[in-house]
Amino acid sequence: MLERGLEEKTYVLNLGPQHPSTHGVLRVELEMEGEFITKADPDIGYGHRGHEHMAENRNYQQFLPNLGRVDYLHALAYNQCYCMAVEKLLGLKVPERAEFIRVITGEMNRISSHLLWLGAYLLDLGAFTPILYCFDDREHILDLLDRVTGSRLTYCYYRFGGVPQDIDEEFVAGTREFIKRLRTRFRDYDNLVTKNVIFIHRTRDVGIITQEQCLEYGLTGPMVRGSGIPYDIRRSEPYSAYPLFDFEIPIGSKGDILDRYLVRVKEMEQSLRIIEQALNKLPEGPIMAEKVPKRIKPAEGEVYAAVEAARGEFGCYVVSQGEVKPYRIKLRVPSFANLSILPELSVDTLVADLVAILGSIDVVVPEIDR
């Protein structure tokens, strides 16, 4: 390696696996020529835990808590997707009130994920103050969700057929108060980040992803919407109570880092809009389906369910052979596909730009190393 480096005037630099900007145990092996990257090779697998294999050795209920550990930042979306897949197998119809509660809590969880991304991303770029604002707002969400779920991070709240605990008036009032609060805070984020000239220079025209690349790599979520493609599972393949609500799908124009940032900020505004409508239309009624079997043993078959998680499309493919344990569970996670474009985006960029590009992808490494 030393001889090759001397001959070609190149060298190899390891970014990670112990590095704050990799957001987990991700290693990116960089081939450098001076300050410029000639090749980037993401090396995954340092945190592999074998969730899919664990699914085959547990019954359907026992696997529920695992989903909150796949993407711990938007655990409720993963919890919901798995429940939807098993409900398809069982032929269960979830009560309308339970669907509304799933939407409300799921969108709150989406906002908390985006807030953590925003604060941590600005920290990657050298700005410390935004993470204090973001965690201040996020703390209100965690307090509210803790009331109904009993958790603050790795949620396991949904059940096959509905939810185990109803929301009360205190939760509703607290959520309405939070909506008012966050709407006033967007002005602060706008002044602190969006209009910041240093942030603009670090993100504008950097890490541009074309629409063709989005299709080639199977990108989803803010990554594809930042490039101007309005693909959102909540609209393209509606599920739960989402067809009952009016909301927009924010998209970018250039497909650069700045567009991906703006899409996520606007998504938080749309999530508030969805939550407010759900609270206004919240129906009375049961929160669990009738005749949910205590021993889950679906008939033979296979199903696929997909949801729009904070990072993109999360899909759960379940194969049943009529036993109490699933024969096979395959998890389609967005971060794995989204990270695959990093080598192409990294060529001829600076290491500082690579940190900005990687952060804009919003990678959750335990999701990749599932």
Alpha-helical runs (H) found in the chain: 2-8, 51-55, 67-70, 75-90, 96-124, 129-149, 169-189, 197-203, 211-217, 222-225, 233-236, 257-281, 334-339, 342-346, 351-361, 365-368
Is the pLDDT at 266 greater than 50, yes or no? yes
The pLDDT of residue 2? 43
Buried b (16+ CB within 10 A) or exposed e, 144-168: bbeebbebeebbbbbbbbbbeeebe
Averaged pLDDT for residues 78-91: 96
pLDDT value for 17: 84
Average pLDDT, the chain: 93
Looking at per-residue confidence, does 262 or 45 come out higher? 262
Residue 28, sorted as left (phi over 0), alpha (psi -120 to 50) or beta, turns out to be beta
What would the pLDDT profile of 90-124 be if each residue is shown by its tens digit?
999 999 999 999 999 999 999 999 999 999 999 99
Contact of 233 with 221, CB cutoff 8 Å: no
pLDDT at site 245: 96
Residue 279 in this model has a pLDDT that exceeds 70 = yes
At residue 49, does pLDDT exceed 90? no
Phi/psi of residue 51, each to 5°? -60, -40
Highest mean pLDDT among 9-23, 41-55, 143-157: 143-157
- The Cα 310–Cα 184 span in angstroms is 22
The confidence score (pLDDT) of residue 18 equals: 80
Per-residue pLDDT reduced to its tens digit, 193-228: 999 999 999 999 999 999 999 999 999 999 999 999
What domains can be seen in the chain, in order of their start residue? 10-368 (1.10.645.10)
Residue matched to tokens 């939810």: 163
pLDDT-derived band at 7, boundaries 50, 70, 90: low
High-pLDDT (> 70) share of the chain, %: 98
Across 116-144, average pLDDT: 95
Q: Provide the pLDDT for residue 370.
A: 82
Note the pLDDT of residue 267.
Answer: 97
Amino acid code (one letter) for 44: I
- Whole-number Å distance between alpha carbons of 287 and 16: 45
The secondary structure of residue 364, as a DSSP letter, is -
Q: Sheet with 27-33: list strands edge to edge.
A: 11-15, 27-33, 36-43
pLDDT tens digits, residue range 153-171? 999 999 999 999 999 999 9
Report the pLDDT averaged over residues 63-70: 94
Q: What is the structure's pLDDT at 369? A: 86
- Split at pLDDT 50, 70, 90, the class of 1 is very low
Distances (CA, A) of 31 to 41, 101, 207, 357: 9, 49, 18, 17
Interval 59-74 mean pLDDT: 94
Q: Give yes or no for residue 25 having a pLDDT over 90.
A: no
Residue 316 has pLDDT above 50, yes or no: yes
Q: Amino acid letter at 325?
A: K
| Contact residues for 193 (Cβ-Cβ < 8 A; gap 6+) | 118, 122, 127, 130, 199, 261
In sequence order, the 6+-apart residues with CB closer than 8 A to the CB of 125 are 199, 202, 355, 356, 359
CB 65 within 8 A of CB 154: yes
